[in-house]
Chain A
Amino acid sequence: MSLPRRKMLLAALLVLGGALLAPLASNAQRLVTSVSTHRVLISSNFSGTELVLFGTLDEAPGAQIGTYDIVVTVRGPARTFVTRRKERVLGLWVNAASREFYQVPSYLAVMTNRPPAEIGTADMLRKNRIGLANHVLTQQLGGDIADVSPDDPFRQSFLRVKTAEGAYTTDPKGVTFLTPRLFRASVPIPGTALTGDYEVETLLITNGNVIAKQQTAIEVVKTGLEAIVASEARNHGFFYGLATALLALVTGLIATLLFRQE
């Protein structure tokens, strides 16, 4: 019951959004996407994984590779980050000025079939939040929460550090068209990925206009021992600490006894 209703709602939104965005919206191609998994499990040997998204264009008469562009954006659970700039004080490099990035994605991946600059105008890319630089990164500025201009040094540094960490990633060849109507996107999920809900957004673009949009979600969860340890540490701090201390005593005792017998 809910699926047709959601699709109807989506269609309604598309028509509404399309009417504002592009005159082409009236003959919008239907975009269907599917992800390889909806649950990424973090077990004890987890060191990152790859999420694969497949998509087709339902009605695309006369489509050729190059007619359509695809942008896949994955946003991880929102977190607040503090960005600090080091300055030299009395010969030492210490954290001085700082900015708070309020509830921004802990993970952000932008996959496209060609460089975003070739897909649309700067204005269109900004409007549709395509690319890392165009993503809304709200900062706590005094009492206000707002995004600042893309050339703000803190904003640029935040993106640079996050990209170096592997938490933010962009790949202008991350989407490949297998046929004119079928595409595939691979999204790297790093080992440092936080648990929570990840939003996957796919945009279909032609001639610099967004003509369809699909959204889905995946979940990253800890499983097995990892899940137990994390939940015990959070919920039963005292017993967890006691158990760890006991573990230390027992490990020490076992080693002592082992070596005494030799």
Chain B
Amino acid sequence: MPLRSGFTFSPGLPPVPIYLPIAELPVNIFLILGLGIAVGFISGMFGIGGGFLMTPLLILVGIPPAVAVASVPSHMAASSFSGAFSYWRKRFVDYGLGLVLLSGALLGTASGVWLFAALRRAGQLELFISLAYIVLLSIVGVLMTAESIRAIIRAWRGTPPMPRRPGTHAWFHGLPLKLRFRQSRIYVSAIPVIVIGFITGFIGAMMGVGGGFLLIPALIYLMRVPTTVSIGTSLFLTLMTMLVATVLHAVENRTVDAVLAMVLMVGGVFGAQFGARAGQAIRAEQLRLLLGIMVIAVGLRVAAGLINTPVEFFSVVPKDVWQ
């Protein structure tokens, strides 16, 4: 019997079905648990939520995009919890910076959830999510990869790491409302920080991603925050915004699948523990290179879906099932 679900797309796994009440289809519990563990591992290793991997993977195994995007945030909250906790214990979280970012991120999350609902009604959600993925992932991935390769070459040649240039000022350093963030050793205006938070929250809610892959580079390269503090603060922010996104998606879109979320979470938290240990054994610039390559790979995969000639030119989707 052909089923359009992850249930058939699980080669080599024992076929134990679990019915997802909101997605309204059965999936193989081991497949979903496995995805949770794998993405949780990456999440713990790089200090990101891992949503940019999880959301497309869930869509690939047949979960409706609206359910995937709304259910992944709770998985990210769970798997970033341990990370946030361990960075907090090592005092690598800048709460001042985190709270200013959070104020922007909450506004951004609310706007993102709202736009998501509007695009779903308009029927262009799929294209929009794909394009957003391709554009963002390729830009961030290429920048990250290029920078980390330069850092690795510098380290290999034995030249000192990129010096912090106190004399160089970006345009936003002239803005008012300057705040000093001690942990991050920066003194900047609150405005660009709030804007970064807003963009992270907005894109996160709309694409079903935590936004760590945007926030970490923004903090490291734009704000010149040390890598460890960037990761710690980003985890803290991911945890907060993902909790809020879960509630907002449940209210606005009603597509949060608690059963799917539960299975993902259980896998995610264990994967994250092992990932965090693996991550600490690797040098920071090598970690950034790996993350950069992975971000590019996901971007290319999504792009391939839009560029390759499809096998089936027609798609059939229910109109507003959840309304």
Out of A93, A162, A190, A229, which one reaches B258, CB within 8 Å? Answer: A229
Give the distance in Å from the alpha carbon of A91 to the alpha carbon of B256 in the complex: 34
Given A45-B17, A259-B273, residue A253 in contact with residue B81 (CB < 8 A): yes
B116 to chain A, nearest CB (A): 15
Task: Tell me if B279 counts as interface (CB < 8 A to partner A).
Answer: no
Q: Give Cα A62–Cα B250 distance, bound, in whole angstroms.
A: 63
How many residues on chain A are close to B (CB under 8 Å)? 66
CA gap between A226 and B24 in the complex, in Å = 10
B316:A240 contact, CB within 8 angstroms = no
Q: What's the minimum C-beta distance from B274 to chain A, rounded to whole angstroms?
A: 9
Given contacts A84-B123, A161-B316, contact A251 B22 (CB under 8 A): no
Q: Kindly state whether residue B247 has any CB partner on chain A within 8 Å.
A: yes
How many CB-defined contacts (below 8 Å) exist between A and B?
218
Among B16, B126, B247, contact of A238 (Cβ-Cβ < 8 Å): B247
Whether A161 contacts B318 by the Cβ 8 Å rule is no
Any chain B CB within 8 A of the CB of A47? Answer: yes
Query: Would A44 and B18 be within 8 Å (CB), given that A83-B316, A154-B314, A161-B315 are in contact?
Result: yes
Whether the Cβ atoms of A79 and B321 lie closer than 8 Å is yes
Interface residue from A167, A241, A253 paired with B250 (Cβ < 8 Å): A241
Determine if B214 is an interface residue (Cβ-Cβ < 8 Å).
no
Q: Are B18 and A230 in contact (CB under 8 A)?
A: no
- Asked if A249 CB lies within 8 Å of chain B CBs, one says yes
Closest to B40 in A: A255
What are the interface flags for A163-182 relative to B under an 8 Å C-beta threshold, 1 for contact and 0 otherwise?
A: 01111000000000000000
Complex Cα distance, B310 from A111, in Å, reads: 31
Q: Are B318 and A247 in contact (CB under 8 A)?
A: no
- Known contacts A161-B314, A165-B4, A244-B261; A256 and B85 CB within 8 A of each other: yes
Tell me the bound Cα distance from A82 to B316 in angstroms.
6
Contact B126 A95 (CB under 8 A): yes
Nearest CB on A from B28, distance (A): 9
Chain B residues with Cβ below 8 Å from A161 are 312, 314-316
Query: Smallest Cβ distance from A233 to chain B, in angstroms?
Result: 6
Contacts of B308 in A (CB 8 A): 93
Interchain CB contact under 8 A, A191 and B314: no
Nearest A-chain residue to B253, judged by Cβ? A237
* Surface stretch bound by A, among B97-105, B139-147, B164-172, B262-270: B262-270
The answer to whether B319 touches A241 (Cβ under 8 A) is: no
- Using a CB–CB distance below 8 Å, which chain A residues touch chain B? 42-48, 79-86, 91-95, 98, 100-101, 106, 154, 157-158, 160-162, 164-167, 188, 190-192, 194-195, 222, 225-227, 229-230, 233-234, 237-238, 240-245, 247-249, 251-256, 259
